[in-house]
A = this chain, B = another copy of it.
Amino acid sequence: MAIIFSRKCELGIQAVLYLSSVEGRNVIPSEEIARELKIPKEFISKILQELTSSGIVSSKKGKMGGFSLAKNPNKIHLLDIVLAIDGSEIFSKCVLGFPNCSSETPCPMHNTWSQLIDETFKMLNEETIDQFKHKTLRKIESLK
């Protein structure tokens, strides 16, 4: 099966969007994120640990601890999360899997594909997570 982002990346984005959508609270325990997004607690806390170490999320240990965004949501781009979890390979890798694909020795699909990937990159790089707040709230609601 073809996929775009790894499952970890999908859930990482979901969790960051969730953190950006809750207002007036300091930190959110992973139990709540898991419950609201209907995903396993252990898995999402693993992912949030990764995002903590890459500086997108920050964590507070101990009782009353949990996770929060490490910076202003208008400074967090979707691209940051994708790069932190899935890396940059998707933007450089040959779509047909040829080992030495480049503009010098392009694969048959190289040019057409580059355009699509460039657009995707731009979108992920331009969109910041604060732009999704209302959409996220609606989506969380629809999961109930």
> A residues bordering B, Cβ < 8 Å?
1-7, 9-11, 13-14, 17, 38, 78, 82, 86-87, 89-90, 93, 95-100, 105-110, 112, 116, 119-120, 123, 127, 132, 135-136, 138-139, 142-143
Which residues from B are CB-within-8-Å of A132?
Answer: 108-109
Report yes or no: B136 in contact with A108, Cβ–Cβ below 8 A: yes
What residue in chain B is nearest A137 (Cβ atoms)?
B108
Q: Which among B4, B93, B96, B112 is the interface contact of A95 at CB below 8 angstroms?
A: B4
| Cα–Cα, bound, A136→B136 (Å) | 44
A78-B139 contact given A89-B2, A95-B4, CB 8 Å threshold:
no
B-chain residues with CB within 8 Å of residue A97 when the two chains form the complex: 5, 7, 10-11, 14
A135 interface neighbour in B10, B89, B108, B135, Cβ under 8 Å: B108
Complex contact B87–A112 (CB within 8 A): no
Q: Are B139 and A3 in contact (CB under 8 A)?
A: no
Chain B nearest CB from A4 CB (Å) reads 6
Q: Do B143 and A100 have beta carbons less than 8 Å apart?
A: yes
